[in-house]
């Protein structure tokens, strides 16, 4: 086990490459996997820069089938009903409050140390409640290792990149503050 603890880089919300279907998380994950021996433990520090506007992300650790990252939101959230068709994932609130909405409009608001598990194909969206920046721990796991885990579809079943206008993505502006 390496004694060095990984200090993640906080990235602003990056546009998806429509030719490859890859967004910021996919690119960060590819770089992370190339740099780490996936047979060894990975250590990390839960530290992320907070946005003044938009959203950010910091990849903490990953294997080829599972990834752990911190997601931050100044406002908004993932604002369009969507599903991840080949990924089970969970969100745990570390700071702020988030309201998650389901297919039928049902809503649940989560505070610090509360969370939700979303199985593949489950349609949802969420937004940050006003007051303080929202920080979420997000853990995802691919279901079918032979297929892409990045398939994200809208309510119409069509592809919906996370950085799309339809998902109300805005350019990230970071503050000088950190969650740690």
**Which CATH number characterizes residue 155's domain?**
2.60.120.10
pLDDT tens digits along 47-68: 999 999 988 999 999 998 999 9
| Domain residue limits at 20 | 11-172
- Comparing 34 with 58, the larger pLDDT belongs to 58
Q: Is residue 179 part of a domain?
A: no
Q: Is the pLDDT score of 88 beyond 90?
A: yes
d(CA 79, CA 4): 37
Residue 133 resides in a domain: yes
Residue 145 falls within a domain, yes or no? yes
Does any domain span residue 54? yes
Spatial CB neighbours of 80, under 8 Å, sequence gap ≥ 6: 125, 154, 155, 160, 166, 167, 168
Q: What is the mean pLDDT of the chain?
A: 87
In a domain, 3, yes or no: no
Q: Which residues of 114-139 are buried (b: 16+ CB within 10 A; e: fewer)?
A: ebbebebebbbbbbbbeeebbbbbbb
Query: What's phi and psi for 79, nearest 5 deg?
Result: -95, 5
Whether residue 43 is contained in a domain is answered as yes
Average pLDDT over every residue of 123-148:
93
Residue 132 lies in a domain: yes
Q: How many domains does the chain fold into? A: 1
Count CB atoms within 10 A of the CB of residue 59.
22
In a domain, 178, yes or no: no
Choice between 120 and 21, residue whose per-residue pLDDT is larger: 120
Helix or strand holding residue 33 (H, E): helix 24-35
pLDDT tens digits for 9-27?
Answer: 888 766 544 444 456 677 7
The secondary structure element, H or E, covering residue 55 is strand 55-62
pLDDT confidence tier of residue 123, bands split at 50, 70 and 90? very high
Q: How confident is the model at residue 111 (pLDDT cuts 50, 70, 90)?
A: very high
Lookup: tokens for 155: 């309510």
76-84 mean pLDDT: 84
pLDDT for 91 equals 98
């Amino acid at each position: 086990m390496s004694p060095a603890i990984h200090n993640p880089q906080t990235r602003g919300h990056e546009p998806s490459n429509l030719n490859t279907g890859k967004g910021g998380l996919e690119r960060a994950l590819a770089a992370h996997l190339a740099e780490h021996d996936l047979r060894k433990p990975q250590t990390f520090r839960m530290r992320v820069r907070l946005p003044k506007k938009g959203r950010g992300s910091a990849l903490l650790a990953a294997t080829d089938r599972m990834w752990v990252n911190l997601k931050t939101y100044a406002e908004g959230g993932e604002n369009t009903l969507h599903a991840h068709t080949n990924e089970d994932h969970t969100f745990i609130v570390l700071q702020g409050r988030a309201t998650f909405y389901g297919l039928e409009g049902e809503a649940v608001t989560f505070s610090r140390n509360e969370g939700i598990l979303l199985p593949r194909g489950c349609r949802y969206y969420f937004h940050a409640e006003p007051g303080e920046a929202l920080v979420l721990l997000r853990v995802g796991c691919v279901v079918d290792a032979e297929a892409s885990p990045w398939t994200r579809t809208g309510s119409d079943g069509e592809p919906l990149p996370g950085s799309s206008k339809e998902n109300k993505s805005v350019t990230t502006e970071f503050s000088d503050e950190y969650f740690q």
